[in-house]
Chains A and B, each alone.
Chain A
Amino acid sequence: MNQVLLIFLPVLFALFVPLLYKTFSRIHTGWFVLLVPLTLAIYYARFIPNITEGPYTSTFYWVKSLDLSVTSYLDGLSLLFSLLITIIGSLVVLYSIFYLDRKKEQLHNFYFYLLMFMTAMLGVVQSDHLISLYLFWELTSISSFLLIGYWYNRDRSRFGALKSMMITVFGGLMMLGGFLLLAQAGGSYSIRELIANGSVIADSPYFIWMIVLILLGAFTKSAQFPFYIWLPDAMEAPTPVSAYLHSATMVKAGIYLVARLTPLFAVSEYWIWLVVLSGLITLFWGSFFAVKQTDLKGILAFSTVSQLGMIMAMLGAAGIAFHVESPQKTIFAFAAYAAIFHLVNHATFKGSLFMVAGIVDHETGTRDIRKLGGLMSLMPISFTIAAIGSLAMAGLPPFNGFLSKELFLTSMLSLKEFSLFNFSTWGPILPWVAFVASIFTFVYCLYFLYYTFMGKGNTSKLPKKPHEAPIGMLISPIILASLVVAIFFIPNVIGKYFIKPAVLAMQPQLYETIDDIPIHVQAWHGWTTELQMTIGIVVIGFLLFITLKKWQPIYRFVSEKWSLNGLYNRLMRFADVDSQKLSNLYMTGSMRHYLMYMFAFMVVAVISTLFMSNGFNYSTANTAEVGIFEIATLIVMIIGTLTVLIARTRLTAIIALGAVGYSVALFFIIFNAPDLALTQLVIETVSVALFLLAFYHLPKMSRHEERMPFKINNFLIALGVGVMVTLVALSAQSQKLLPSISQYYKDTVYTKAGGGNIVNVILVDYRGFDTLFEITVLAIAGMAILGMIKLRRPKKEKKTHETK
């Protein structure tokens, strides 16, 4: 219960944020908010020493009858993510206190959204129940939308917020579909139980669908190719948001999901191929296009995309461990470790880089890399942090990125040794892709560092006079940067307490305890292929960087129109403008057209149903003799009906309609229905009189005395309706399955109801309820006519009103 409650702590605290903002307007609201992630971080840190002793669960039943619960499930993986969320969250809040101005910004909004996001994210990583996982998942989308659009009076912010919302919610809904299929196949909503039930699920015919749908959710959230396009536009958010959501936490929700479901889905080759391929493509694509960017945060966004792809590729490789003999001894076991390790490293260095980008923006007034340069001497501390961050990202010693990059190359190299699923055919290409992507990673890291801080930039032209940031703003990036260095020197401590428990949670089938995981990371691991590759990366990357000015123009060949953004924009325009054109095609506003659609649809639906279900039947078994009276009346009726259709004047049509009505009354007499005949006669008279009244008051200006024009469409539809009704009536008449209930009425009309006229007794006694409401209908019609006529604004009054 405690655990579940703590997930909701941030959002509960958020309720007080506006109050604190208003009451203590002299203190920056962030100081109060800072308490929340700090408390949580301390709480979760208490689990670290004994997380391997088993998962800590606690359940809050939400809708028990539907088996809906919020279950907090803390194992190594969730704990690692929870700590990332709370620790980076604390640092980001601390940073934002100095980044956002107390007087100029609407802080209560900002912190409200941020705390909402924190709850959502903790919920995502701790949920064991699929539906509550989805719930928190969408809450991250919504709070991210709100945070990106924080400066809502800027066009770009709103555009970016909408774009990220569209893409992530699309993925989220796909994922929900996958979850529902999964829960259906596994018979449970609990991820633990589903994993235990894995073999049953793998036999499900919808297994592929589950994989595709759930991966769509994970890929859209984690900005994988081709869904990464929302991330660069999300850079319009305040920098603390970018640092928190779009580098360290939210974009890793997809990574978390893939890692969490690996024990379930890694038995499938589709899962492995999809994850590996999308990861590698994203890795290459992101690193290649990062060099094109001119906005500091744009570079970081593309680099985040690329690094997420790298983690994803490793997770895919980790799935292979389920398919090989004695996996503990093979190198595939590295992949899971490498993925988690790099995830932690990425959170540290990318967080610090974003914060530096924010500092540069804050102190110089621009993020455009073409205007910046030469800030090294003016902002030495920021430069140091940026250097540590970028070199770690590039994968150089003595920073943590070096270690995880080596592990990454190890796992990619191992792919070609795997024989199943065609990996032996295509596998050898994969390390080369990783190699090329790493070269570009190296290039953009230098690009970011060099053009911001070094070179001979003209600092006097900047919008603000640059100077070092206040110390408060520097605390968080300094902490992160020192972590970057520290992890390099103590990788195995981190590995023991954080990474190995997470690996254990990810590959529970392979290991009993964390001591079984045979990985010992060290900076010097011998003269291996990985090290040679790293040297190659550094050398080629350096050469490419020096010649950057010469080859950078190739990016101009990539037209914006054919990019994925262009595709997205066209899709949006299609959904907006073109779909409106489409609906204008048929929503013409003409009543005649709508009637045509309805009748045509009815004809097609009824007739096709009739024949497809073999419902048509015709027999004369139950029919009565046709007498001379019937034929005569029928002829009168047909003549009357035809006259209505071809009449030249409306008066003729009205009279002919009256004739039809009276012949219907005659029919009632012939068929022994005196009550109906009486009513029909009187009603027909009244309605003909009303028709005449309406006819008399037709406006004189456009009164045409001409017959109805012949239209082939109308004719065909009318014919169709006639045929339809005839067919249905014939079939209904020809196959009566049950005897009529009328015998009961005949038997009891006098004994039980005390009457002799069955029709009237049915109307007022057996089924008086209908009559009650029919007279109500009549009364409503009368009142409506009265209202329409009496409650009109007189014309004279209207005119005087208008002249006023």
Chain B
Amino acid sequence: MKLNNVILKTTTQVVFFMIFLFSIHIFFAGHFSPGGGFVGGLLTASALVLLLLTYDLKTVQQLLPINYTTMTAIGLLLSLGTAATSAFLGDAFFKHYFDHFTLPLFGDTELHTAMLFDLGVYLVVVGVTMIIIQSIGGDE
């Protein structure tokens, strides 16, 4: 017997975006306040897990057709690439660059290559968590 869990589904539709946005916030805030790529990635993954719990595996895969293995690979490449860029520019391996820019809408903003590295971390964490959960959950 399969229950039609309306309340759960409706709540999820709202809560998913809240968690997702919170995770994005945590990710971006990482450089100045608690957070960062690792926690951000885990939280994004937990939002996706919530989707998995509410709907089944196939539905979520149709909804978000993401190949998490590729995502992990891209994350690793991004991190390594960020770290290696400085070596190509003649500096030491893993040197980060940052500066302040005045952007429309955001005002005075600091842009930092460490953020790209953290994005790599984020992608790897989301990818690996989802690989683990999907492969274990999808196992017959």
Contact with A along B21-56 (1 / 0, CB 8 A): 000001000111111111100110010000000000
**Minimum CB–CB distance for B110 against chain A, Å:** 6
Tell whether, in the assembled complex, residue B34 and residue A757 are in contact, meaning their CB atoms are under 8 Å apart.
yes
8 Å CB contact of B76 from A757, A761, A775, A786? A775
Q: Does B96 contact A (CB under 8 A)?
A: yes
Q: A755-B32, A786-B135 are in contact. Are A779 and B42 (CB under 8 A)?
A: no
What is the bound-complex CA distance between A574 and B31, given in angstroms? 67
User: Assuming A679-B39, A768-B83, A771-B121, is B135 touching A760 (CB within 8 A)?
Assistant: no
B35 is contacted by which of A675, A768, A771, A779 (Cβ under 8 Å)?
A675
Do B112 and A775 touch across chains, with their CB atoms under 8 A apart? no
When chains A and B are docked, how far (Å) is the Cα of A157 from the Cα of B79?
A: 65
- Contact across chains for A785 and B135 when beta carbons are under 8 A apart: yes
Least CB distance, A759 to chain B, in whole angstroms: 8
- Most chain B beta carbons < 10 A, residue from A675, A686, A754, A755: A754
Interfacial chain A residues near B83, Cβ < 8 Å: 768-769, 772
Q: From residue A678, how far is it (CB to closest CB) to chain B in Å?
A: 5
A779:B36 contact, CB within 8 angstroms: no
Query: Which of chain B's residues have a CB closer than 8 A to the CB of A760?
Result: 30-31, 35-36, 118
Are B128 and A772 closer than 8 Å at their CB atoms? no
Residue B6 is within 8 A (CB to CB) of chain A in the complex:
no
Residues of A in contact with B (beta carbons under 8 Å apart): 674-675, 678-679, 682-683, 685-686, 690, 693, 753-757, 759-761, 763-765, 768-769, 771-772, 775-776, 778-779, 781-783, 785-786, 789-790
Question: Counting CB contacts under 8 A, is B18 at the interface?
Answer: no
Please determine whether B80 and A786 come into contact, CB atoms closer than 8 angstroms. no
Q: A771-B121, A775-B75 are in contact. Are A755 and B114 (CB under 8 A)?
A: yes
Measured between beta carbons, the chain B residues less than 8 angstroms from A761 are 31, 114
Q: How far is the CA of A783 from the CA of B43 in the complex (A)?
A: 21
Contact B34 A779 (CB under 8 A): no
For the complex, what is the distance from the CA of A674 to the CA of B75, rounded to whole Å?
Answer: 25
Q: How would you classify the secondary structure of chain A's contact residues: helix, strand, loop or mixed?
A: helix
Contact: B121 with A785, CB < 8 Å? no
How distant is the Cα of A756 from the Cα of B121 in the complex, in angstroms?
Answer: 19
Which chain B residues lie closer than 8 Å to A763 at the CB level? 36, 38
Q: Which A residues are CB-close (under 8 A) to B120?
A: 775
CB pair B136–A775 under 8 Å, yes or no, is no
**Cα distance A376–B39 in the bound complex, in angstroms:** 102
A517 and B55 CA atoms in complex are apart in Å by 109
Chain B residues closer than 8 Å to A679, beta-carbon distance: 38-39, 42
* Contact A785 to B32, CB < 8 A, known contacts A682-B39, A764-B114, A778-B125: no
**Alpha-carbon distance between A685 and B133 when the two chains are bound, in angstroms:** 13
Q: Do residues B136 and A693 form an inter-chain contact, with CB atoms below 8 A?
A: yes
Interface contact A675-B139, CB-CB below 8 Å: no
- Shortest CB–CB separation between residue B139 and chain A, in angstroms? 5
Mark interface residues in B94-137 (1 if CB within 8 Å of A CB, else 0).
10101000000000001010100110110011011101100110
Asked if B69 is at the interface of the complex by the 8 Å CB criterion, the answer is yes
Assess whether B37 is in contact with A782, with CB atoms less than 8 Å apart. Answer: no
If the complex has contacts A675-B36, A760-B35, are A768 and B129 also in contact, measured as CB distance less than 8 A? no
Q: CB-CB < 8 A to B76: which residues of A? A: 775-776, 779
How far, in whole Å, are A759 and B32 apart by their CA atoms in the complex? 10
CB of A778 within 8 A of CB of B128, answer yes
Chain B residues whose C-beta falls within 8 Å of the C-beta of A690 in the assembled complex: 132, 136
Q: Give the residues in chain B near A764, CB-CB below 8 Å.
A: 36-37, 96, 114, 117-118, 121
**In the complex, what distance in Å separates the CA atom of A659 from the CA atom of B57?**
30
| B-side contacts of A781, CB under 8 Å | 128, 132
CA distance A772 to B98 in the complex (A): 20
| A501–B11 alpha-carbon span in the complex (Å) | 108
Question: Is the Cβ of A754 less than 8 Å from the Cβ of B110?
Answer: yes
- Which residue of chain A lies nearest to B134 when distances are taken between CB atoms in the complex? A786
Tell me the bound Cα distance from A765 to B80 in angstroms.
13
Residue among B26, B73, B118 with the highest chain A CB neighbour number at 10 A: B118
Bound form: Cα–Cα A755–B110 in Å: 9
| Closest chain A CB from B23 CB (angstroms) | 10
Cβ contacts under 8 Å, A769 to chain B? 83, 94
Q: Is the CB of B79 within 8 A of A775?
A: yes
Q: Which residues of A contact B43 (CB under 8 A)?
A: 682
Q: Contact partner of A678 among B32, B35, B129, B139, CB < 8 A?
A: B35
Complex Cα gap A779–B136 (Å)? 16
Which A residues lie within 8 Å of B69 (CB)? 783, 786
B32 to chain A, nearest CB (A): 4
Tell me if B39 and A675 are in contact (CB < 8 A).
yes
Q: How far is the CB of B114 from chain A (nearest CB, A)?
A: 4
Whether B124 contacts A779 by the Cβ 8 Å rule is yes
Taking a contact as CB atoms under 8 Å apart, the answer to whether B139 and A782 are in contact is: no
CB-nearest residue of chain B relative to A789? B135
Closest Cβ of chain A to B3, distance in Å, is 20
Given the known interface contacts A764-B114, A775-B120, A789-B136, the answer about A757 and B128 at a Cβ–Cβ threshold of 8 Å is no
Q: List 25 A-B contacts (CB under 8 A).
A: A674-B34, A679-B42, A690-B136, A754-B31, A755-B112, A756-B32, A757-B30, A757-B35, A760-B118, A764-B36, A764-B37, A764-B96, A769-B94, A772-B79, A772-B83, A776-B76, A779-B75, A779-B127, A781-B132, A782-B127, A782-B128, A783-B131, A785-B132, A789-B135, A789-B139
Contact between chains at A686 and B42 (CB < 8 Å) = yes
When C-beta atoms are compared, the residue in chain B nearest to A753 turns out to be B96
Write the nearest CB–CB distance from A796 to chain B, whole angstroms.
12
Cα distance, A196 to B121, chains bound together (Å): 70
Q: How far is the CA of A678 from the CA of B22 in the complex (A)?
A: 13
Chain B contacts with A in 66-85, Cβ cutoff 8 A: 69, 72-73, 75-76, 79-80, 83
Q: What chain A residues lie within 8 Å of B79 (beta carbons)?
A: 771-772, 775
Tell me the bound Cα distance from A685 to B118 in angstroms.
23
How far does the alpha carbon of A690 sit from the alpha carbon of B135 in the complex, in Å? 12
How close is A664's CB to chain B, nearest CB, in angstroms?
A: 16
Q: Cα distance A772–B76 when bound, in Å? A: 8
Contact indicator B128/A779 (Cβ below 8 Å):
yes
Question: Nearest residue in A to B111 (C-beta to C-beta)?
Answer: A754
With A768-B94, A782-B131, A789-B139 given, is the CB distance from A775 to B124 under 8 Å? yes
**Quick one: given A678-B39, A775-B75, A786-B69, are A757 and B124 in contact (CB under 8 Å)?**
no
Q: Bound complex: CA of A754 vs CA of B30, how far in Å?
A: 12
- Chain A residues with CB below 8 A from B118, complex form: 760, 764
Q: A674, A693, A765: which has the most chain B beta carbons within 10 Å?
A: A765
Which residue in chain B gives the minimum CB-CB distance to A764? B114
Instruction: Kindly state the separation between the CA atoms of A679 and B69 in the bound complex, as whole angstroms.
Output: 23
Interface centre among B42, B120, B127, B129 (most CB of A within 10 A): B42
Q: Which residues of A contact B73 (CB under 8 A)?
A: 779
